[in-house]
Chain A
Amino acid sequence: GEDVEQSLFLSVREGDSSVINCTYTDSSSTYLYWYKQEPGAGLQLLTYIFSNMDMKQDQRLTVLLNKKDKHLSLRIADTQTGDSAIYFCAESYGGGGADGLTFGKGTHLIIQP
Chain B
Amino acid sequence: EPEVTQTPSHQVTQMGQEVILRCVPISNHLYFYWYRQILGQKVEFLVSFYNNEISEKSEIFDDQFSVERPDGSNFTLKIRSTKLEDSAMYFCASSERTGPNLADFGPGTRLLVL
Which A residues have a C-beta under 8 Å from some C-beta of B?
4, 30-31, 33, 35, 40-45, 48, 50, 88, 90, 92, 94-106
Name the B residues within 8 Å of A90 (CB-CB): 43
A26 to B27, CA, bound (A): 32
Assess the A48–B99 pair: CB atoms within 8 A. no
28 contacts between A and B (CB under 8 A): A31-B101, A33-B100, A35-B105, A42-B4, A42-B105, A42-B108, A43-B43, A43-B105, A44-B105, A45-B104, A48-B100, A48-B102, A94-B99, A97-B55, A97-B56, A97-B98, A98-B31, A98-B33, A98-B55, A98-B56, A99-B101, A100-B35, A100-B46, A100-B58, A102-B45, A103-B43, A104-B42, A106-B43
By the criterion CB–CB under 8 Å, are B48 and A98 in contact?
yes
Which A residue's beta carbon lies closest to that of B110? A40
Which chain B residue has the least Cβ–Cβ distance from A30?
Answer: B99
Q: Report the Cα distance A12→B43, complex, angstroms.
A: 25
Smallest CB separation, A107 vs chain B (Å): 11
Residue B41 interfacial (CB < 8 Å): yes
B106 adjacent to A42 (CB under 8 Å) = yes
Bound complex: CA A41 to CA B106 (Å)? 8
Check B106 against A100 for contact (C-beta < 8 Å). no
- Which B62-114 residues sit within 8 Å CB-CB of chain A? 91, 93, 98-108
B107 and A94 contacting across the interface, CB-CB below 8 Å: no
Q: Which residues of chain A are within 8 angstroms of B31 by Cβ–Cβ distance? A: 98
Shortest C-beta distance, A53 to chain B (Å), equals 12
| Chain A residue contacts of B32, Cβ below 8 A | 98
From A30, A35, A100, A102, B48 is in contact (CB under 8 Å) with A100
Please tell me if the beta carbons of A99 and B103 are within 8 angstroms of each other in the complex: no
